[in-house]
A and B are shown apart, each in its own frame.
Chain A
Amino acid sequence: MQAYHVVGRSIPKKDAMQLLLGKPVYTDDIAPPGALVVKLLRSPHAHALVEDIDVSAALQLPGVAAVYTWKDVPARRFAIAGQTYPEPSPYDRLILDRRLRFAGDPVAIIAAEDEDSALRAMKLIRVTYQKLEPVLDPRTAKDGPVLVHPEEDWVPTYPVGGDNRRNLVASGGDSSGDVEAVLADCDIVLDRTYHTKAFQQAMMETFRTYTTLDRYGRLHVISSTQIVFHVRRILSNALGIPKSKIRVEKPRIGGGFGAKQTAVCEVYPAFVTWKTGRPAKLVYTREESQIAGSPRHEMEIRVRLGASREGKIRALDLYTLSNSGAYGEHGPTTVGLSGHKSIPLYTGGLEAYRFAFDVVYTNLQPAGAYRGYGATQGIFAVESAVNELAGLLDMDPVVLREQNIVREGMVMPAYYGETANACALDRCLARCREMFDWERRWPVRDMGGGRVRSAGVAVAMQGSAIAGVDVGSATIRLGDDGCYSLLIGAADMGTGCDTILAQMAAECLDCPVDSISVFGADTDASPYDSGSYASSTTYVTGKAVELACGQLKDSIRALAAEMLDCAPEDTQFQGTGVKSLATGREVTLEEISYRAQVNNQISVEATATHSSPFSPPPFMAGMVEIELDKHTGQVTVLDYMAVVDCGLPINPALARVQTEGGIVQGIGMTLTEDVTYDAGGKPIERSLMQYKLPTRLDMGRLRVEFEHSHEPTGPFGAKSIGEIVINTPAPALAQAIYRATGVWHRSLPITPEQIALAQTT
């Protein structure tokens, strides 16, 4: 591996001390006082029409500035998914609609001088609802008698096989080889169905947005978002105003995990500010985040896996039914990953595959983007099926995987025909086995008193950005004192991308990372970036940083050449300055930057834009040991060992924490976090008291290591890490639970009640 001076080092995040010392850096800390408080009256019914709505009493209340209903908003539909235009998500929303499609759908927007007045006004709004039959079961939604989106103006912006007359957000599939023929020829065909729920990202900072008019009368939006540029377009569509009238910036963000890749709350305060001319602020309560956020798509995945008696996996056939809920955000795209980022793991001996899907509307909370984005669901299904095969064959599941996994250099037909140029999955698995001490822990051990220890394993992949779509840009500028400013449109939501992008710039410019200040993200000042999602920032924006720094170095040398009386080719960039190769004379960066301010026509600023035709997958192996109490069904996670191939980790400490955090989220969705509804379709888990996030007593011991590979298209050989890390816990834990109890649980979460009740002995 090449020696780098900044890249590959565990440098603290640039914002660490501000965050750890509690400085005011988040949306609600920096929003000036005096903004109108915005609250939303939400539908109590899963499906209803607003027959009549009377806001006159609410408007008479002192302190109430405005109340808006469906009668007051533009009649043009839009989508709030943060995606590159033309968005695959259908335009199926209005700011407020007469038809209410889930329990929590906004009925009215209230803006008041203070929260008390807003809440009192909410109680004074009189609504007559015409209750309608809700669509609550995704299995019967397609071509069912009740339509979630019967409207004539439902707009599919992009052909994804959707049809609102069939409750279909999207449908499609692809295949390679003759799956049925290969399955017919297999010694063993497993046919299993797996189910995952609409888990919540539950980032600590709920959705929130502040809006005001700037000194030019433009709409200035400060929002906790991963996607400033997409929010600008979404607001333009929703409000019917030009994008040039809108500026969107993000301050520090209290976590996203994909939740904030959807403009969940921005349109409401923006509408208030645009109508009233006054600053407005909307902060979602935790309850609102739980019932009207943008959770994971619930999926039911049928896997048919064909294998030989010796354990060669020959065919995979997947059908995914995805529940998009009341609106289509991210529905057409998340579902693709359930097949495209699970099947290719077994490229090794796979002779044929088929993947088909339907994405349906229901009258439940609309889903969105959550770390893993469909791959998590697909990997739970495929990895569980492979573990079930190991059980049937009475084979060590690690050995079974060694015979079948994708290896470096293989072409992956189920992954858009891309080649695995950098793939250390085999080494990840081998190292994980060794460090975990798999041979000792794989056998089930009776600890006495009904307690059993057992282990499970899974492997995973993800992508690095959306191939041929995502755009990352970076502007790098030389400052007076020889330091640099790095301007980005990607969004650091706690991941540390500001820091790792600065590390890359410092590496390219041969300077300390402290010499790079980072600014982002602001649609008025940042170069265009699709935003931070799809595991794209390190891989795509990182490459843009590398390219921009190269261009800037050329400009600096050109300017220095004038000062050194030589040709630019005869100079050398040296980090602290530029040297003439002929005379050895040197000018410092500070001298060059002052020279740039006098009688100068060479810009000491460079912007580069990058996009990749590939999405190189990171890979990972995970192993878990649990202790299970057969009397109570209680699962205690003892030890989780993970080895990740993310190419070269730019900042190993931050890569490690990404991995540990993802594993604990994965443990949460497998064991403690549940999503249930009452008979009318209202969510039950409305608070963190009911939606049980893992605490530090629930995750056992975590160990994370890295196996390096070199991705030729990535900056410094890097791939992504943000999402893959959530994918192994569910299948690994399900296997460990099977080993302890003899029962396969194919639906998440796997709660103590289910474990205790399912045991036959």
Chain B
Amino acid sequence: MEINFTLNGRPVTGSVPPGLPLLDLLREKGCFSVKCGCETSCCGLCTVLLDGVPVLSCSVLAVRAGGHAVTTLEGLQEEAKEFVPFIAAQGADQCGFCNPGLVMNTIALLRENPNPTDDDIRAYLAGNLCRCSGYESQLRGIRSYLNSRNSRREDA
């Protein structure tokens, strides 16, 4: 099927098989940040934004992206660079395989709720599995970013 969609701000036209998951199409298009961890919508690694809303790209058919805007981490490098050093400072990146999905969902969280509580963060990111970190360091990283950002704002 022929589809047209926007990928990280650029128009994309292509022919895709009807059963192709969006995940596979995005990797074919060179968006290697999008990872597959489970194939059953359980792990959150394949999270991308569809019209700004986080979706699991393993569970969205590529054809459904037709006429919509898809954003992957490749398209959000600057926004990610604002807070990922705080996650790195905790050593929470670990193996890194779940990082892109976590970063995408954190971006979505902070756009929706710029001042989340710890419980807000836990709840929003509950679908992002990580087998290395035990999660606590990810929370510390996000919290220290928010503290740093808010104190900068107060200073300004």
Contacts and interface: CB of A to CB of B under 8 A. Distances in A.
Interface of A: 10, 12-13, 15-26, 29, 201-206, 252-257, 285-287, 493-496, 651, 653-654, 656-657, 659-665, 687-689, 693, 695-697, 699, 701-702
Contact of B95 (A206, A254, A699, A701): A254
A688 B43 contact: yes
25 contacts: A12-B85, A12-B91, A19-B93, A21-B73, A21-B103, A22-B32, A23-B32, A203-B95, A203-B97, A204-B35, A205-B95, A252-B96, A255-B131, A496-B91, A651-B91, A653-B89, A660-B134, A661-B134, A664-B134, A687-B40, A695-B129, A695-B135, A697-B122, A699-B136, A702-B136
A287 B40 CA distance: 10
Contacts of B32: 22-24, 29
B77 interface: yes
Given A20-B84, A689-B42, A696-B139, A661 B91 contact: no
A29 to B, nearest CB: 4
Interface centre among B84, B94, B138 (most CB of A within 10 A): B94
A204 B123 contact: no
A660 B38 contact: no
Contacts of B130: 204, 696
B128 to A, nearest CB: 8
A598 to B, nearest CB: 40
B62 interface: no
Interface string B71-88: 011100100110011011
Contacts of B132: 203-204, 255, 494, 657, 661
| A contacts with B: majority SS | loop
A26 B98 CA distance: 12
B98 A204 contact: yes
Given A254-B96, A696-B122, A286 B134 contact: no
A710 B10 CA distance: 57
Q: Across chains A and B, which 10 residue pairs bring their CB atoms closest together, nearest first?
A: A494-B95, A22-B33, A19-B96, A254-B97, A660-B134, A16-B88, A22-B100, A664-B134, A24-B32, A22-B73
A704 to B, nearest CB: 8
Contacts of B89: 10, 12, 653
Contacts of A205: 35, 37, 95, 97
A149 to B, nearest CB: 32
Given A23-B32, A660-B136, A696-B126, 4 more contacts: A254-B97, A657-B134, A661-B134, A696-B130
A663 to B, nearest CB: 6
B69 interface: no
Most B CB contacts (10 A, CB to CB) among A18, A656, A661 go to A661
A199 to B, nearest CB: 12
A24 to B, nearest CB: 4
B95 A13 contact: no
Contact of A663 (B74, B84, B94, B134): B134
Interface string B38-50: 1110110100000
A17 B37 contact: no
Given A29-B32, A204-B45, A661-B132, A17 B84 contact: yes
Contact of A202 (B81, B103, B131): B131
